[in-house]
């Protein structure tokens, strides 16, 4: 018997592997094309909202995630210059009561490994490394993907999960380079014994200031401590793995409270990345080719939803394919129609939150007054639409 043409996925990050796992669970043959020599994930910690844990439950991955995640008791914001508490939202049982799912944090590499292990356990997933997609063409029968080494692969569809600088997006949307936000992030991870007790916090704690902020929280069941410092800068470097300038970092946080400066001083080497996004678009599909995750809707990290929205994409894509009885082009249209407004809202709201975190002058005073009044801080009231998430059982009915 002839094996059906596989669904081809360009990119073996969290979004690409999530899509592979979802589609393989539905019985599709899937080939993941990762351009690097090995599957892996660069980066530090990421936050996982209740909407993402809802996806884990649907995918049967909750236990695997819980083994490597950390569940902070609260989410807080302090003023980086005065040290005053701006807001603290209790998590734990409060998040569970509000949404039915917890709020957690996880090492990016650990989440990637959960999906990689899940894919490896599926006999209908083919994981290929050193497979860089150079171009593709398509007709009514399928797609052909041309790899850098000269190989040509046939598939029934191509899913571009190849990130912010997506080559697939270039061909489908053609909107040029990403939008540079003017913010850069320095990230580092410390071992628990490198963090003095008076600087450790189990909360996700953000120190917000004029054009700067520092966020920190534990990782890997509390064995590690994740730090991300963000400030406005005109520096630009494409990538996630560039070494940061410690002198510039210290200069930007020179007016910070002592505990913030002490924490920053614990880091000898920082990795830097430039924060970029794109304008939301309504159409990211072309017949048998579509985009997923950062390739479709890259967003600034201020809502901590990049990985979560990619996982939601994967679940919706799977449901769309189930609903169209094999009509791939129709399924890809249904998928993007179900996703573009939600992901666009996250993209735009993330920009707004960047302004809130980095406020100065009257904007800063207003932010502090609103949050400290308690009227704006009842749980996650302003983000309920996001954390409620999507209901996988009721897609396309």
Q: Which residue has the tokens 């996630």?
A: 240
What do you get for the CA distance between the two ends of the chain, in Å? Answer: 33
> Please, what is the Cα angle at 160 between 318 and 31, to 5 degrees?
70
CA 289 to chain centre: 22
Is there a catalytic annotation at residue 186?
A: no
List strand residue ranges (DSSP E) for 220-288, in order.
224-232, 242-243, 271-277, 285-286
Catalytic residue among 217, 335, 357, 387: 217
Measured between alpha carbons, how far is residue 135 from residues 145, 238, 244 in Å?
Answer: 6, 21, 33
The b-or-e profile of 54-70 (16+ CB within 10 A means b, else e) is bbbebbebbebbbebbb
Nearest one of 285, 8, 289, 290 to 151, comparing CA atoms: 8
Measured between alpha carbons, how far is residue 8 from residues 58, 197, 299 in Å?
Answer: 23, 48, 24
Which helix (H) or strand (E) covers residue 338, if one does?
Answer: helix 328-357
Give the active site residues: 217
């Amino acid at each position: 018997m002839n094996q059906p043409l596989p669904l081809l996925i360009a990119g073996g990050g969290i979004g690409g592997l999530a899509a592979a796992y979802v589609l393989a669970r539905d019985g599709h043959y899937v080939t993941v094309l990762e351009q690097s020599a090995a599957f892996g994930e660069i980066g530090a910690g990421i936050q996982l909202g209740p909407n993402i844990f809802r996806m884990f439950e649907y995918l049967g991955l909750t236990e695997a995630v819980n083994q490597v995640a950390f569940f902070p008791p609260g989410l807080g914001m302090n003023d980086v210059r005065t040290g005053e508490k701006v807001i603290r939202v209790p998590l734990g049982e409060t998040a569970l009561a509000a949404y039915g799912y917890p709020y957690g944090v996880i090492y990016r590499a650990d989440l990637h490994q959960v999906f990689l292990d899940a894919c490896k356990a599926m006999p209908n997933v083919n994981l290929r490394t050193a497979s860089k997609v150079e171009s593709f063409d398509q007709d009514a029968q399928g797609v052909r993907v041309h790899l850098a080494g000269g190989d040509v692969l046939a598939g029934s569809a191509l899913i571009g999960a190849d990130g912010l600088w997506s080559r697939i997006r270039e061909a489908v949307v053609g909107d040029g380079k990403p939008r540079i936000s003017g913010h850069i992030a320095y990230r580092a991870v410390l071992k628990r014994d490198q963090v003095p007790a008076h600087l450790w916090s189990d909360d996700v704690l953000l120190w917000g200031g004029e054009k700067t902020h520092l966020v920190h929280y534990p990782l890997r069941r509390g064995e590690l401590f994740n730090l991300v410092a963000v400030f406005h800068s005109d520096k630009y470097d494409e990538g996630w793995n560039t070494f940061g300038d410690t002198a510039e970092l210290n200069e930007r946080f020179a007016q910070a409270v002592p505990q913030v400066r002490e924490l920053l001083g614990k880091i000898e080497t920082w990795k830097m990345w430039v924060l970029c996004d794109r304008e939301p678009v309504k159409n990211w599909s072309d017949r048998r080719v579509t985009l997923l995750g950062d390739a479709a809707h890259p967003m600034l990290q201020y809502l901590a939803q990049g990985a979560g929205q990619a996982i939601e994409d994967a679940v919706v894509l799977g449901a769309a394919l189930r609903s169209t009885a094999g009509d791939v082009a129709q399924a890809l249209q249904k998928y993007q129609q179900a996703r573009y407004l939600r992901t666009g809202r996250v993209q735009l709201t993330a920009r707004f939150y960047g302004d809130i975190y980095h406020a100065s002058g009257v904007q800063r005073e207003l932010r502090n007054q609103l949050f400290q009044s308690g009227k704006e801080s009842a749980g996650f009231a302003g983000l309920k639409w996001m954390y409620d998430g999507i209901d996988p059982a009721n897609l396309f009915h």
